[in-house]
Structure 1
């Protein structure tokens, strides 16, 4: 899972934990199902296998239940584990106004008990069966996943369905989680040097639309103002099967999985969903610069951000390659210029949807962003000058096929590292988001071919339009702590 301050509820344990499953018995204090193999059903309408479009193909079955729940099954018998992921189409950028941080608060509420599992019993059910779990809130979704021994798949499907059907929403639980989230904001943002920089700060400075530009971690007054009625309404509206996708990756029999999914999820009623909010951003015509005083920081920092092309457009894939050329890895132009040649900093971090995901798992306006903490004797203008010089070199010298091929190798390596990880979560993440946002999880098998369509001319046009200074926001951290 991507490193992010939203690693809530349960921190990642070592995958070696899964090796202990043989000594972990089934939890007996909850009304969990037995593991009797269900009778295989016929292939559901809408099930489709992917076509052979590239050398590395991820197999999948994709279909939708009558209540609107999207289901993606991807069988992989490499290891005797199963990854179960449920993604809800609600993130922190489309949460209600005057309730900043509410999507994140609700993520915590999902672990406070359901019809058949008491408070914290969901977590105990996973851990006592040798598994690991987590949940996170991102721009456009909230997700929950478990990685368990393969023979516990049915148990986890039952548990996820149990909390989709209904939560134990009480004033006590709400008060408790409001306190937890407020403390998290204080620990991760308010009382940390560079707290919120740049992952929380930059969207608020660079964007104009409230939905993209508000404090999604949550203002403390908004967190305090959340009511029990707010929580119930939020759950009833957004945590419905027709606003979600269920992904299962790993060692399972498809007939069994389909039967269990129908048994446990099929009876959950759908709801009428609200109209999607307008996330559009105006074209930026002038560079923006901001300074943030940080009483806890002892070195200056700088972040830059450019508005991205529309997701899935040809220019979007071109920006993916430009990101590799300019920012990713020690061979990148900015690392070489800022770290190796000038020694302004020890590292440059960032990317597309940086710090909160990757370039694939979002749905709406996005920023290409970079950041660095640098030496006191280097001013912001010097860093921005280097940034402009490296972009101008690419514009003036052009990008030949050899450089494109190198960028494709890097992005292909990163992508395949994600989808081939033994835990299965990286694969599940892409399948879930492509199903949720595009109704097309098979897109995972076409990504490489889309990058290969990018030409030197398309890269030139993308550089000219999207990496222009007037499309840029610069945020400087002014350190107030003594060195």
Structure 2
């Protein structure tokens, strides 16, 4: 039952090598066997365990159900602020000592804020799993939320906004710009990085209340992937996290988006940019549906790789740009989110090619998928690419990629094992379903266009 890193990497490598000449096989290769255990502690903490005894290391992921679009109005940037606050010390660890603890034991770590969660992860030698779980529980139990740390990290976040968005070429393009333009619901459409005025107005009481509400075990999932015995690992998780009390959770906001019925267009002038840019976004089907699986296949056919339709049309045939980039969920992958999502495609181009010319070429590339079912050989090749991308996600960052998928599915679905069913969901996609999804989701009235102009 155990899956080893070597076998998964081999599958991914074989898939990637086959993308240009994949035959229309009658049956997909068997998906790798991924063992998954799922438990819920009495305090609500969701726990996903996937043992792999091949290498003496463990990936640890702790996910809290507070992402960009879950944060309340008037609290923009709080989710991101807490990503920083979580490294400022806890009851038994001083400022930055969590980082020192992991690194001094030969591990690496990071954290990030996404649409629907904020996560923290470590990849460490398996003999220090007990220590790392203790440290994660220590900051869940009692983060050092004091005025000094708050003031310091507010300054850090505001400076990050200035450096990464306000004072750099193409700052926020397209990952920050496009959700604000394409979505109607405030939760999906506000400035995810945080309004500087909201950050300035944050009081210590505001921040303490935010932590107590959202950084609770019943708003969290923990995933372990690697070298451990599941029974022993669950005992360690229970020992460290089991006594942390749950918190009353506010009703989750309504994240739904209305069906887009009219194309949206916007433009902005980027004084720091040297070349114009263009981004196009389409709303995608709900995650976990057959239509979503079909759109993942469609993304491979349209966007991913040099054999994709947009690359062939805009780069190879017309020479309008050197590269077309994009995908479903630019801040993660096609599976680690919960609410509405966009497929975003973007490119940079020379001034002699205007947006209308580029959009016409995009339309030429998209239209065949709407006009007729994709042929069997192209569909088979896209399925190989999609599986390769999935296995690549699982293998990324020394096993953290699989932990990310498991924790997300535990947090959103209460079913981390659904990750093991994704290959089958992709394989069930038919040419007719791809065409149906293309007609509904790639129509012009479902798209948003952003034109970036240079100042000169």
- TM-score interval w.r.t. the shorter chain? over 0.9
- Asked whether 1:367 is paired with 2:306, we answer no
- Equivalent residues in 2 for 1:391-406, closer than 5 Å: 391-406=366-381
Aligned counterpart for 1:142 among listed residues 100, 118, 128: 118
**Alignment correspondent of 1:476:** 451
**Whole-angstrom CA distance in 2 between matches of 1:202 and 1:455:** 30
Q: How many Å separate the matches in 1 of 2:31 and 2:320?
A: 42
TM-superposition CA deviations, 1:302-349 (whole Å, max 9, x none): 000011111111111111011000000111110111111111111111
Matches within 5 A, 1:13-92: 54-92=30-68
| Alpha carbons 1:79, 1:422 under 8 Å: kept | no
Match of 1:232 among 208, 216, 221: 208
Deviations 1:339-372 (A, max 9, x none): 1111111111100002x00110010111111000
Residue from 91, 97, 101 that aligns with 1:125: 101
1:338 to 314, 337, 354: 314
Structure 2: runs of 5 or more not aligned:
1-28
Structure 2 counterpart of 1:438: 413
Specify the SS of the correspondent of 1:446.
helix
Which consecutive unaligned segments of at least 5 residues does structure 1 have?
A: 1-52
**Contact residue 54 and residue 445 of structure 1 kept, 8 A:** no
Q: Secondary structure, in 3 states, of the residue corresponding to 1:384?
A: helix
Aligned counterparts, 1:106-255, within 5 A: 106-255=82-231
Q: Mean alpha-carbon deviation: is it higher for 454-463 or for 168-177? A: 454-463
Give the distance between the partners of 2:64 and 2:41, measured in 1 at CA: 15
- Deviation string 1:240-259 (CA, Å, 9 cap, x unpaired) is 00110111111112232121
CA distance in 1, matches of 2:299, 2:234: 40
Which residue of 2 is the match for residue 17 of structure 1? none
CA drift of 1:58 comes to 0.7
Among candidates 324, 344, 358, match of residue 383 of structure 1:
358
The answer to whether the 8 A contact 1:194-1:294 is kept is yes
1:307 aligned onto 2:283: yes
Q: Which has the higher helix share?
A: 2
How many residues in Structure 1 have an aligned counterpart in Structure 2? 428
Larger RCO, structure (CA 8 Å, separation 6 or more): 2
Paired residues of 1:241 and 1:268 also in contact (CA < 8 A) = yes
Q: Distance in 1 between matches of 2:386 and 2:171?
A: 29
Q: Give the conservation status (yes or no) of the 8 Å contact 2:66–2:117.
A: yes
User: What corresponds to 1:467 in structure 2?
Assistant: 442
1:427 aligned to which of 402, 416, 429: 402
1:459 CA displacement: 1.2
Distance in 2 separating the partners of 1:464 and 1:417: 29
Aligned-residue Cα RMSD (Å) equals 1.1
Counterpart CA distance in 2 for 1:71 and 1:410 is: 30
**Aligned-partner Cα distance in 2 for 1:335–1:102:** 38
